[in-house]
Structure 1
Amino acid sequence: MSSTFAVIYTYTDDTDLREATRPTHRDYLRGLDTLLVAGAWVPGEAPGGLLIFRAEDKAAVQAIVDEDPYTKAGVVADAQIREWAPPLGPLAGQFT
């Protein structure tokens, strides 16, 4: 059975590297059938982003993070992976 996982990326301050790697990173994410939604924090927030996955376990999500071009290029300074069970809201039923 699949579970829902939130991945919180914290990026390095190297915006040039991030910009150069972004197309490959986005292509990689577009090819994942486990990705539900992803996006960067808005300007004014610390550099990073949030990705939501449906996967069998945390190890499967870790493998996705490890293969992300952002991770391989050194854009990601930290990646937190947390299993998530949203109980409320109009979309909550889609995550169970």
Structure 2
Amino acid sequence: MLFILTALDKPDSLALRLKVREDHLAFARETGRIKLGGPFLNDKGEMCGSMMIVEAPDLETAKAWHASDPYVKAGLFATSDIRPWKPTFNPIEAKL
């Protein structure tokens, strides 16, 4: 099952994002759940949030995975949301 995860960084937290970024990327690679993802950008072109398409068997697993993300553990996000998603146009092939 696919989920859309959106998260917005706390104000003035670019330094924290950059400090934790390599741990976040390693976590993403090791777990293999992200099928497509990347940062939101602000008016200056700086990273200020995240959008990811995540594959998990159910919402509870997706939420638990998100809670284990180094960005979450570091307190980077002001808000985050995870919702089930169904690709309709130009669907991607998502397999674990």
User: TM-score normalised to the size of structure 2?
Assistant: 0.85
Task: Report the Cα offset of residue 33 of structure 1.
Answer: 2.2
Aligned to 1:68: 69
1:7 match: 5
Distance 1:19 1:88 in 2: 33
Aligned residues: CA RMSD: 2.0
Per the alignment, residue 48 of structure 2 pairs with 47
Higher helix share: 1
Q: Check whether the contact 2:14–2:48 (CA below 8 A) recurs between aligned residues.
A: no
2:33 counterpart residue number: 34
Identity level (%): 25
Question: How many aligned positions are there?
Answer: 92
Q: Which residue of 2 aligns with 1:79?
A: 80
**Residues 18-77 of structure 1: per-residue CA shift (max 9 Å, x gap):** 111111111111111222121001342782111111111111110111000100001111
TM-score, reference length from structure 1: 0.85
Q: Please list every run of 5 or more consecutive structure 2 residues that lacks an aligned counterpart in the other structure.
A: none
Runs of 4+ in 1 over 3 A off after TM superposition: none
